[in-house]
């Protein structure tokens, strides 16, 4: 009887640990994805919400010496953040968040994405709402407001 109780307790503890680890993993994925976006937005000159699940970031023009001309927008070297399908294509129902610099294939930042929404209600800020589901059904949601007015 003691042996059966010990085995049941061990199984319950392992399941609890797995659920906690899954929740931690998905929250880490979402927060790291949004940190990547925030780093790009810190340098942004402008943003365009292409679709509610697709954001394009424009940077100031970079000169040959590496300095920036902040009064000029570089319309070629952009970075896109979007919800994508398994093939990496922009998709409203995709389960991945992708960061793609101009002329690259992009890289996945987060898997299990169930919501990714961008909204820009002013010329100097963008709101990002993101949710993802991990293993064991662990779910994590985050809303982030980024302000990048200093480069305008």
Tens of pLDDT, residues 79-117? 999 999 999 999 999 999 999 999 999 999 998 999 999
> What pLDDT, on a 0 to 100 scale, did the predictor assign at position 109?
92
The torsion angles phi and psi of 54, rounded to 5 degrees, stand at: -145, 120
Whole-prediction pTM: 0.80
> What pLDDT, on a 0 to 100 scale, did the predictor assign at position 80?
97
Rounded Cα distance, 94 and 83, in Å: 6
> What pLDDT, on a 0 to 100 scale, did the predictor assign at position 136?
58
> What pLDDT, on a 0 to 100 scale, did the predictor assign at position 137?
67
Rounded Cα distance, 107 and 102, in Å: 12
Longest dimension (CA), the chain: 76
C-alpha dihedral (29, 30, 34, 37), degrees to nearest 10: 60
Q: If you write DSSP's letter for every residue of 118-143 in order, what string do you get?
A: EEEEETTEEEEEEEEE-GGG-EEEEE
The first and second tokens of residue 123, run together, are: 């010329």
> What pLDDT, on a 0 to 100 scale, did the predictor assign at position 19?
45
Eight-state DSSP code of residue 12: H
Residue ranges of the chain with per-residue pLDDT less than 50: 9-10, 14-17, 19, 22
> What pLDDT, on a 0 to 100 scale, did the predictor assign at position 149?
58
């Amino acid at each position: 009887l003691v042996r059966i109780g010990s085995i049941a307790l061990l199984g319950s503890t392992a399941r609890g640990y797995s659920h906690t680890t899954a929740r931690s993993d998905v929250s880490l994925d979402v927060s790291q994805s949004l940190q990547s976006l925030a780093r790009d937005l810190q340098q942004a000159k402008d943003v365009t919400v292409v679709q509610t699940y697709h954001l394009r970031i424009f940077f100031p023009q970079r000169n040959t010496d590496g300095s920036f001309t902040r009064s000029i927008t570089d319309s070629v070297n952009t970075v896109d953040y979007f919800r994508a399908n398994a093939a990496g294509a922009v998709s409203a129902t995709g389960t991945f968040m992708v960061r793609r610099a101009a002329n690259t294939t992009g890289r996945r930042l987060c898997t299990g994405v169930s919501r990714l929404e961008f909204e820009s209600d002013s010329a100097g800020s963008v709101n990002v709402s993101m949710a993802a589901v991990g293993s064991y059904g662990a779910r994590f949601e985050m809303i982030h407001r980024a302000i990048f007015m200093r480069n305008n």
